[in-house]
């Protein structure tokens, strides 16, 4: 009776990534009201720099939509539904985007298309570039939402490009070629490769080498490159951020075919911490893509009052400079707090310089090098330890044991609580592990059996523990 899209699971919400959120929602941590609740570390949000935006708003009451130089703009905004977007807003956005890239790339506002968040921007781009049944290559690990955003309503397939911890999950030419061949064997026509740079979940920026591989590959295979750069403003450490367009310019590719096959997705949700305002965008030098995606943006335009508010915020250059600098500083500090906290528990993170999360190596805590063991550990983390972290399998990571842990969506105090909980958990696990090993060596089989039962009872969760 309903469509097959409505009845199937391609919305991707049955993934553990989202299940963890649900568990969190049933028992959310609160410093005072629910100190034993689950801490949300599965949400890549930037809450560190709101005070800066709020203080700007307090100092600029003129931005209230009723007055601008004494004239009412609210009325104009209420009627403004042009899918080209507010011209002044797009001018500010391209300037801001250029600023993030150290002004090494200039953007033309006429090539910018607004969308309702990066979610909508990514889907729209795929609708423009690929037909149902065609495929997009995606390096792993990748953001779980892509399974929905790129595939669900478009009917397009994702073919993963496998990346491994042995080289820090860097994208190699070999991996790209292997994925392409795999797609061909499956009779899937590859239309493009989508990268996230800086990477979610890795928290790393792509190297010049990786970007060059991608461009060379796209030229050779005659395919599109989509670069999701939503975290570009969260780069807090060296090496700096290199946008795909910069890499292409360095190779003097502006007047070649591939230039019109490179497209960028951006949003204000991560950098400025404004996910609720649904401000996403597509940037492309391809007129057909710009034309088609502009028309498609009718399905998810950015609210005019939001466009207006943010035009004013971004127009204040002093504010944006101050914000960018301060935001990076706070992100770096908070990330270091997480990394050092985990280190005290014997847990390492992938060396990162961007993003709102760390890619954490918990392979040594797995009972075996399997997906099942990772799932078991994840269950323990959410239900026992009370931390909603996201298991690597939900990011299609090829190796079990990696977890994405967010750090920018909570207060310092909450992060300290989280670190303590992990420490306790690890110590408990080590202790139980050591006891188990000792006794198993010395006891008879019967005693061993009795002991195993006792150990199991002690370490397994009380089903009633989190029903508070």
Please give the residues from 218 up to 247 whose contact with another protein meets the rule CB under 8 A: 222-224
d(CA 203, CA 421) in angstroms, rounded, equals 23
The region of 162-170, 304-312, 390-398, 432-440 touching another protein under the rule CB under 8 A is: 304-312
> Binders of another protein among 281-300, rule CB under 8 A?
288-289, 292-293, 295-296, 298-300
When the beta carbons of 236 and 277 are compared against another protein, the nearer one is 277
d(CA 116, CA 282) in angstroms, rounded, equals 11
Q: Pattern 4-43, binding to another protein, x per CB under 8 A?
A: xxxx---x-x------------------------------
Q: With contact defined as beta carbons under 8 Å apart, do 56 and 313 qualify?
A: yes
Q: With contact defined as beta carbons under 8 Å apart, do 433 and 358 qualify?
A: no
> Does residue 394 interact with another protein by CB under 8 A?
no
The region of 170-178, 234-242, 303-311, 332-340 touching another protein under the rule CB under 8 A is: 303-311
Q: Give the chain's radius of gyration (CA, Å).
A: 24
Torsion 117-122-123-124 (CA) sign: positive
Closest-CA residue to 361 (of 351, 373, 347): 347
Backbone angles phi, psi at 364, to 5 degrees: -70, -15
The region of 70-78, 98-106, 165-173, 422-430 touching another protein under the rule CB under 8 A is: 70-78
Q: Pattern 124-143, binding to another protein, x per CB under 8 A?
A: ---xxxxxx-x---------
Q: With contact defined as beta carbons under 8 Å apart, do 115 and 300 qualify?
A: yes
Q: What is the DSSP letter of 113?
A: E
When the beta carbons of 1 and 437 are compared against another protein, the nearer one is 1
When the beta carbons of 4 and 103 are compared against another protein, the nearer one is 4
Task: Supply the minimum distance, in Å, between the C-beta of residue 66 and another protein.
Answer: 6
The region of 49-57, 361-369, 381-389, 445-453 touching another protein under the rule CB under 8 A is: 49-57
Q: Pattern 262-281, binding to another protein, x per CB under 8 A?
A: -------x---xxxxxx---
Closest-CA residue to 410 (of 323, 364, 341): 341
Backbone angles phi, psi at 256, to 5 degrees: -110, 170
> Binders of another protein among 148-207, rule CB under 8 A?
148-149, 152-153, 155, 191
One residue of 42, 117, 139, 198 binding another protein per CB under 8 A: 117
d(CA 316, CA 402) in angstroms, rounded, equals 41
When the beta carbons of 225 and 354 are compared against another protein, the nearer one is 225
CB atoms within 10 A of CB 387: 26
The region of 112-120, 381-389, 420-428, 444-452 touching another protein under the rule CB under 8 A is: 112-120
Backbone angles phi, psi at 30, to 5 degrees: -145, 135
**Look-up of token digits 């188990």:** 436
Task: Supply the minimum distance, in Å, between the C-beta of residue 247 and another protein.
Answer: 20
When the beta carbons of 135 and 419 are compared against another protein, the nearer one is 135
């Amino acid at each position: 009776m309903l469509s097959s899209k409505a009845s199937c699971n391609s919305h991707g919400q049955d993934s553990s990534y989202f299940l963890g959120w649900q568990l969190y929602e049933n028992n959310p941590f609160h410093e005072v009201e629910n100190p034993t609740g689950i801490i949300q570390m599965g949400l890549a949000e930037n809450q560190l720099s709101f005070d800066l935006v709020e203080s700007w708003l307090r100092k600029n009451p003129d931005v209230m939509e009723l007055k601008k130089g004494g004239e009412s703009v609210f009325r104009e905004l209420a009627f403004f539904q042009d899918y080209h977007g507010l011209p002044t807003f797009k001018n500010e956005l391209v300037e801001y985007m250029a600023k993030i890239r150290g002004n090494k790339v200039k953007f033309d506002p006429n090539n910018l298309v607004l969308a309702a968040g990066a979610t909508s921007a990514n889907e729209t781009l795929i609708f423009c570039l690929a037909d149902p049944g065609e495929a997009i290559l995606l390096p792993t690990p990748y953001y779980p939402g892509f399974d929905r955003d790129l595939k669900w309503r478009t009917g397009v397939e994702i073919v993963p490009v496998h990346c491994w911890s042995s080289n820090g999950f860097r994208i190699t030419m070999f991996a790209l070629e292997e994925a392409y061949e795999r797609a061909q064997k499956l009779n899937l026509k590859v239309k493009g490769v989508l990268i996230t740079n800086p990477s979610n979940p890795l928290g790393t920026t792509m190297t010049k080498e990786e970007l060059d591989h991608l461009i060379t590959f796209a030229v050779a295979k005659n395919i599109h490159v989509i670069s999701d750069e939503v975290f570009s403003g969260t780069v807090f450490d060296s090496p700096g951020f290199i946008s795909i367009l910069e890499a292409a310019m360095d190779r003097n590719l502006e007047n070649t075919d591939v230039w019109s096959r490179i497209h960028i997705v951006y949003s204000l949700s991560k950098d400025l911490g404004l996910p609720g305002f649904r401000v996403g965008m597509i940037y492309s030098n391809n007129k057909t893509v710009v034309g088609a995606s502009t028309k498609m943006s009718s399905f998810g335009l950015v609210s005019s009052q939001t466009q207006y508010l943010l035009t004013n915020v971004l127009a204040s250059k002093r504010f944006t400079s101050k914000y960018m600098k301060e935001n990076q500083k706070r992100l770096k500090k908070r990330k270091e707090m997480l990394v050092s906290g985990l280190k005290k528990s014997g847990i390492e993170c992938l060396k990162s310089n961007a993003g709102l999360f760390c890619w954490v190596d918990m392979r040594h805590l797995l009972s075996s090098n399997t997906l099942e063991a990772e799932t078991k550990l994840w269950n323990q983390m959410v239900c026992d330890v009370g931390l909603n972290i996201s298991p690597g399998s939900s990011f299609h990571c090829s190796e079990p044991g990696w977890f994405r842990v967010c750090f920018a969506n909570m207060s310092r105090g909450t992060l300290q609580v989280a670190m303590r909980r992990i420490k306790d958990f690890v110590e408990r696990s080590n202790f139980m592990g050591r006891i188990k090993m000792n006794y198993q060596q010395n006891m008879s089989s019967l005693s061993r059996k009795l002991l195993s039962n006792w150990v199991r009872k002690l370490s397994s969760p009380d089903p009633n523990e989190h029903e508070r």
